[in-house]
Amino acid sequence: MGLSFWLWFVFLLFDSQVNSSLSLSSLSFPLCHLDESIALLQFKNSFFVSFSTSDDDCYDKTNSWENGTNCCMWSGVTCDKSTGHVISLNVHCSGLQGILNSNNSLFSLSHLRTLVLSDNSFYGSPISSKFGKFTHLTHLELSNSGFSGHVPLEVAHLSNLITLRLSSSDVKLEMPTLKGIIQNLTHLRELDLTYNDMSSILPVSFMNLSSSMTSLNLSNTKLHGKLPENIFITAKPPRTLFGLDLSESGFSIDLAFVTRNLKNLNSLFLSVCKFVGSYPTLVGNFTEIIELDLSYNNFSGQVPWSALNFKQITSLDLSGNNFEGELPKYYGNSKENSSLEDSSESQSIKYAPLHLKFLFLFENKLSGTLPPWLHMIPSLQHLDIHGNKFSGFVNEFQTRSLEDLSNNQIQGKVPKWLRSMGTDSLYFIDLSHNFLTNIEQVPWKNLRYLFLHSNLLQGPLPVPPPFSVVFKISNNKLSGELPSLICMLKEVEILDLSYNNLSGMFPPCIDQGGMLAQLPGMEGEDAEIDSFSYSKSNIEDTNPAEE
């Protein structure tokens, strides 16, 4: 057998592998129906694409939609594996802009089970009655896409719906439609009516909500009156409600009753609410809740820390109240813990909140030092405790993205925790209006916003990273000359060094006359510093010819 035979054999083997691969690909994606492919392309072409957000989850899903290709393989499109019909269309946050008219080809996709149009820009579009023709729909999401007008009664005919999200400030929900939703959508598990105008709805209307309901969002809905106490406990079988949001709803709420009877709740959002019963003291059983928002409710007294689920909690927002006292102490399994439980049980916790991602305690009257456990939460992403009376020294934090510790009584040097905290990922920190005395360096490589103004900082001026957008360090006691490294700030928009004791000459990049700095390697207005203040400093111009 010669060389030509072996080459032919290798070619046949390669060709069979390619065909096998193509066959597997065809099995994974059924062939799209031509009429549905045309309908999707017409839907795409009825809008233009423009983004007003930098969210990484947002991208133009319709970009992959091309004539002559299998629509079952397009981004955001799912087809039934047996019939090839389009059963799911998800164009969430795809930058679509334009009017969704009732004659849009979208409404010809009669086999849809899931339709997600949320977070686009269909401003001026009504919620068409033709949505009621999607009789197979189990999931309908139209939130935050600019829909306006009344919710049509036809939506209440979608009896297979499991999820219905209609969040919009320009949408009005009236009694006939709500009554239909409650009576007909018996399989409904998630209902989000955030920002809908429900001013004509009576609280008693919610008495017969689906027993399958697991998540209910009625925040900012202009509802009023007292929330019926038996609204969540009369269903047969009893509702297993996991998420409840009544923030700014206008309801009068008995918080103790809600937490006592909704034992499966793990998410509770009651910001800016009206409470009855024990108010303004915070009373309730929150031991199962892992997301809790009770902000801006004028609660007073001490926080019942022991009533919170510190073992599993991921988000806690108690901001904008009048809470007093100190943050709780954590002693782990030490003997000290057992000896103190009786004397100060409300001020100690049994578990460190190792899963906590968001902690907002700002604008209260909390005091004392920051406890060690607060510095050591590995999952903490956002921490905001400004506007309290915390004192002591700043320790090492493990948070990675946002910290606001301003307007407290924190004192001491900054360098220790600056060197140890998320140098590659931290982008925002506000330590203004404290009593910090010294900062030697700013090591965060990707820091964009740094606020150190109104402290007692001394020594030379530290220089933030080159890509800083805002750097405010005014009203301190900094001294010495302005370092030439200040010229390396490439994207700064606000640079405030005023009310210090800086001296010497301006670096060459500073335009003293206009209080602007032309940045190296950049041209045009975008390269200028928008706010550059040196008031009450003793800095001299380097160019005497302009004096």
Which pLDDT score is estimated for 18?
A: 39
Between strands 77-79 and 86-90, the pairing is antiparallel
Q: How far is CA 263 from CA 153, 284, 297, 349, in A?
A: 34, 11, 22, 21
Please count the CA atoms within 13 angstroms of the CA of 5 that sit on its side-chain side. Answer: 2
Q: How confident is the model at residue 22 (pLDDT cuts 50, 70, 90)?
A: very low
Which pLDDT score is estimated for 77?
A: 97
Least confident of 276-285, 374-383, 467-476, 505-514: 505-514
* Dist CA 134 CA 116 (whole Å): 13
What's the CATH architecture for 410-518? Alpha-Beta Horseshoe (3.80)
The 3-state secondary structure of 318-359 reads CCCCEEECECCEECCCCHHHHHHHHHHHHHEECCCCCCCCEE
Backbone phi and psi for residue 262, each to the nearest 5 degrees, phi listed first = -95, 75
Percentage of the chain lying above the pLDDT 70 cut? 78
Percentage of the chain lying above the pLDDT 90 cut? 47
Residue whose C-alpha is closest to residue 62's, from 31, 98, 30, 28: 98
Can you give the C-alpha Rg of the chain in angstroms? 30
Query: Is the predicted pLDDT of residue 521 greater than 50, yes or no?
Result: no
Whether the CB-CB separation of 207 and 234 falls below 8 Å is answered with: yes
Whether the CB-CB separation of 471 and 481 falls below 8 Å is answered with: no
Q: How confident is the model at residue 510 (pLDDT cuts 50, 70, 90)?
A: low
What's the CATH architecture for 278-329+349-393? Alpha-Beta Horseshoe (3.80)
Query: Is the predicted pLDDT of residue 218 greater than 90, yes or no?
Result: yes
Which pLDDT score is estimated for 345?
A: 41
Least confident of 207-216, 292-301, 418-427, 453-462: 418-427
Average pLDDT in the 400-426 region? 67
131 vs 257, more confident: 131
Q: How confident is the model at residue 159 (pLDDT cuts 50, 70, 90)?
A: very high
Which pLDDT score is estimated for 397?
A: 58
Which pLDDT score is estimated for 233?
A: 62
Which pLDDT score is estimated for 422?
A: 52
Please count the CA atoms within 13 angstroms of the CA of 488 that sit on its side-chain side. Answer: 9
Predicted confidence (pLDDT) per residue in 173-190, tens digit: 999 999 999 999 999 999
Least confident of 68-77, 189-198, 375-384: 375-384
299 vs 279, more confident: 299
433 vs 374, more confident: 433
- Kindly report, as residue ranges, where domains of CATH 3.80.10.10 are found in the chain: 278-329+349-393, 410-518
Q: How confident is the model at residue 215 (pLDDT cuts 50, 70, 90)?
A: very high
Average pLDDT in the 302-322 region? 93
How much is the pTM? 0.78
95 vs 414, more confident: 95
Which pLDDT score is estimated for 51?
A: 83
* Dist CA 295 CA 315 (whole Å): 12
Backbone phi and psi for residue 215, each to the nearest 5 degrees, phi listed first = -140, 130
Which pLDDT score is estimated for 269?
A: 96
Query: Is the predicted pLDDT of residue 97 greater than 50, yes or no?
Result: yes
Predicted confidence (pLDDT) per residue in 46-69, tens digit: 999 998 766 677 999 999 999 999
Which pLDDT score is estimated for 362?
A: 94
528 vs 505, more confident: 505
Backbone phi and psi for residue 245, each to the nearest 5 degrees, phi listed first = -130, 110
Average pLDDT in the 22-28 region? 47
- SS3 category, 38: helix
Which pLDDT score is estimated for 423?
A: 57
What does the CA dihedral 63, 66, 70, 76 come to, rounded to 10 degrees?
20
Which pLDDT score is estimated for 62?
A: 96
* Dist CA 450 CA 454 (whole Å): 13
Query: Is the predicted pLDDT of residue 356 greater than 90, yes or no?
Result: yes
Which pLDDT score is estimated for 232?
A: 64
Which pLDDT score is estimated for 395?
A: 56
Which pLDDT score is estimated for 394?
A: 59
129 vs 496, more confident: 129
Q: How far is CA 185 from CA 188, 210, 472, in A?
A: 6, 7, 54
Which pLDDT score is estimated for 516?
A: 41
Burial 290-300 (b: 16+ CB within 10 A, else e): bbbbbbbbebe
Query: Is the predicted pLDDT of residue 414 greater than 90, yes or no?
Result: no
Which pLDDT score is estimated for 547?
A: 38
* Dist CA 325 CA 118 (whole Å): 43
**Cis, bond preceding 237 (omega within 30 deg of 0):** yes
Which pLDDT score is estimated for 181?
A: 94
427 vs 31, more confident: 31
Which pLDDT score is estimated for 421?
A: 54
Predicted confidence (pLDDT) per residue in 237-253, tens digit: 666 889 999 999 888 88
Average pLDDT in the 511-522 region? 38
Chain mean pLDDT for the chain: 81
Helix, strand and coil content of the chain, in percent to the nearest 5, comes to 20, 25, 55
Predicted confidence (pLDDT) per residue in 387-402, tens digit: 999 886 655 555 555 6
330 vs 89, more confident: 89
